[in-house]
């Protein structure tokens, strides 16, 4: 049995808490929102973000950060990506040297172009940072529907230890040392999912979505390998696997936001309707900047940015993607 602290009481943090408790671990959930802590302690479920998933009484829910970080074997950072830096900064003085921190959010910081693990390492240099990613909607993990993910650490021994922590009959975990590839796949797929949702909102079909998924992973892998990640990572769970589920699932907030954009909503209106953080909106600008920095062509990312931030209509963006200059799919 391990002692595990989960920083963040949203849908993903709550689902992982339920999974890890069922694995036999002692779990504590932390939230900085006092009303959320009180509600979760009273109702033992997150009615707005994860309805129907009961939080066992053995799981402690608290707003005491210092107490939560006093002696965990593993700390899971599960706040939305825009809040990762501030949360990590608040944690720093309570984290002991060598503390294992697992990032489970997905995003790229817009102003620095840093991955979330790099942000955590910058803010908490004494910690050992890893990442868990893959096709894993909280709504299904919290109900113990079979799911497969990948955990990545620079140290394969640490990755193996975390694999043991998370593994169960309904949650299979693979390992890799390609942290950059895992993080880029998890972050950039949200931008492509916005495009896939937009196509759904416009009334397009399966052919369109298949094209966006296929050409989307081509864009992600081109950028990722240019940045130093391994190509095979993007054709694994944290790449094509996560991209497929995020583009297709009814649980995907990025797909839903894109769907609303296709229906004529503005970005702000779509964000308000989804009622949760839409990670792809925050990653879109960063993806475009990385595309420019590394001189990698990413036409889907470029068009998503134009729709989100420049007022371009969704149907015009799709038309421009279809009418681009003729290309060879797999250059010799």
- Give the residue from 132, 130, 80, 98 showing the smallest Cα distance to 238: 132
The C-alpha torsion from 231 through 235 and 241 to 244, rounded to 10°, is: 100
User: Distance between CA atoms of 134 and 165, rounded to whole angstroms?
Assistant: 16
Report helix, strand or coil for 165. Answer: helix
DSSP 220: H
CB of 261 closer than 8 Å to CB of 197:
yes
User: CA quadruple 35, 40, 46, 49: dihedral positive or negative?
Assistant: positive
Around Cβ 241, how many Cβ atoms within 10 Å?
A: 20
Distance of CA 66 to the CA centre of its chain: 26
226 an active-site residue? no
From 49, 121, 189, 256, the catalytic residue: 189
CB of 31 closer than 8 Å to CB of 5:
no
User: Distance between CA atoms of 154 and 157, rounded to whole angstroms?
Assistant: 9
DSSP 209: H
User: Distance between CA atoms of 102 and 128, rounded to whole angstroms?
Assistant: 9
Residue listed under structure tokens 């969704």: 314
Around Cβ 163, how many Cβ atoms within 10 Å?
A: 19
- Give the residue from 289, 288, 290, 266 showing the smallest Cα distance to 278: 266
**Strand ranges in 50-181 using DSSP code E only, listed in sequence order:** 60-62, 74-77, 100-103, 128-133, 147-152, 171-176
Report helix, strand or coil for 28. Answer: strand
Catalytic residues: 189
């Amino acid at each position: 049995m391990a002692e595990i602290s989960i920083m963040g009481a949203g849908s993903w943090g709550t689902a992982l808490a339920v999974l890890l408790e069922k694995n036999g671990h002692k779990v504590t959930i932390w939230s900085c929102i006092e009303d959320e802590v009180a509600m979760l302690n009273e109702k033992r479920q997150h009615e707005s973000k994860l309805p129907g998933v009961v939080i066992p009484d053995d799981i402690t829910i608290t707003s005491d950060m210092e107490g939560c970080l006093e002696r965990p074997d593993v700390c899971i950072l599960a706040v939305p990506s825009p809040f990762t830096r501030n949360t990590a900064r608040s944690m720093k003085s309570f984290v002991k040297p060598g503390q294992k921190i697992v990032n489970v959010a997905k995003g790229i910081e817009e102003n620095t172009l840093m991955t979330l693990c790099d942000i955590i390492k910058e803010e908490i240099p004494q910690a050992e940072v890893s990442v868990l990613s893959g096709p894993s909607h909280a709504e299904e993990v919290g109900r113990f529907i079979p799911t497969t993910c990948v955990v990545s650490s620079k140290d394969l021994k640490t990755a193996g230890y975390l694999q043991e922590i998370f593994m169960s009959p309904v949650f299979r975990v693979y390992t890799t040392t390609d942290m950059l590839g895992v993080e880029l796949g998890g972050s950039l797929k949200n931008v492509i999912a916005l495009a896939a949702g937009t196509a759904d909102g416009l009334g397009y079909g399966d052919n369109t979505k298949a094209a966006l998924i296929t050409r989307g992973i081509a864009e992600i892998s081109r950028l990722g390998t240019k940045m130093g990640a391994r190509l095979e990572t993007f054709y694994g769970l944290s790449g094509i696997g996560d991209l497929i589920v995020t583009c297709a699932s009814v649980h995907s907030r990025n797909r839903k936001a894109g769907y609303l954009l296709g229906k004529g909503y503005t970005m702000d209106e779509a964000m308000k309707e989804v009622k949760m953080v839409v990670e792809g909106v925050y990653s879109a600008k960063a993806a475009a900047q990385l595309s420019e920095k590394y001189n990698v062509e990413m036409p889907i990312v470029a068009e998503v940015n134009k729709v989100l931030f420049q007022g371009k209509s969704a149907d015009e963006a799709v038309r421009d993607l279809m009418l681009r200059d003729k290309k060879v799919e797999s250059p010799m």
